Structure 1
Amino acid sequence: MPAVMRNSDRIIRSKQKATEDATIVVDSSEIIHSINEQALWLFNLENDCSGKELQQLIPDLSVSTVEEGTVIRHFGRNNGGQHFPLFLRKNTFILNGEKYTILVLHKSNNQSMSGIEPQKVLDELLDMKFALDESTIVAITDQTGKIKYVNEKFCKISQYTEEELIGQDHRVINSGHHQKEFIRNLWRTIANGDIWKGELKNKAKDGSYYWVDTTIVPFLNEEGKPHQYLAIRNEVTEHKRVVDKLKKSMQELVDLKFALDESSIVAITDKQGKITYVNNKFVEISNYTREELIGNTHAVVNSGYHPVSFFKELWRTIGNGKVWQGEIKNKAKDGSYYWVDTTIVPFLDDTNKPYQYLAMRSEITKRKRIEEELQYSMSRIINVQEDERKRLSREIHDGIGQNLYSHLITINRISAEVNHPLVDQMLSEASEIIQEVRDFSWALRPSVLDDLGLMPAIRSFLSRFSESYFIDVYFDSTLTKRLGSNVEITIYRIIQEALTNVRKYAEVKRASVTIREAEDTIRVVIEDKGAGFDKEQLLSNGVGLISMEERARSVNGNINVKSAPQKGTTIILEIPR
Structure 2
Amino acid sequence: MNHSIDRDKKETHWSVEFYEFLPVAFFKISKKGIINYVNVPGQKLTNRTATELLHTPFESILVENSKSIFHQFLKSINFEEQNQTCLVEINKTQDLVSKVSLHGNLSADAEWIQLVVIECLIEAESNISFKQEFEDISNVANIGRWELDLVTGKLNWSNKIYELFELNADVFQPSYEAFLSVIHPEDREKVEQAYSNSLIDKKKYEIEHRLIMLDGHVKWVRETCYSIFDPFDKPLKSIGTCQDITRQKELEIYLQKSEKNYSSLVENTDSLVWSCDQNGHFKYLNPAWEKLLGYPKHEMIDRPFTEFQPIEISIRDKEAFNKFNLNGDVTKNGYETIFLTKNGETKYLIFYSTPIKNDSDNIVGSHGTANDITFKHTLDLKLEETYFELGQRQYAIDQHAIVAITNLDGDIIYTNRLFCKISKYSREELIGKNHRIINSGYHPAEFFKDLYKTIKSGNTWYGEIKNKAKDGSYYWVATTIAPIKNARGEVKKYLSIRTEITETKEAGEKIKLLLKEKALILIEVHHRIKNNMNTIYSLLKIEANSQEDLAHKTILLDASNRVRSMMLLYDKLYRSENTDTISVKEYFPILISEILNIFPNKEKITTNIEVEPVVISAKTISSIGIIINELVTNSIKYSFLNRDSGKISFSAKTENQLLVICYEDDGIPINSSVDLQSPNSFGLNLINMLVKQLKGNVYIESSLGTKYRIEIKV
TM-score by length of 2: 0.36
Computing the radius of gyration from Cα coordinates, the structure with the larger value is 2
Question: Greater relative contact order (Cα 8 A, min sep 6): structure 1 or 2?
Answer: 1
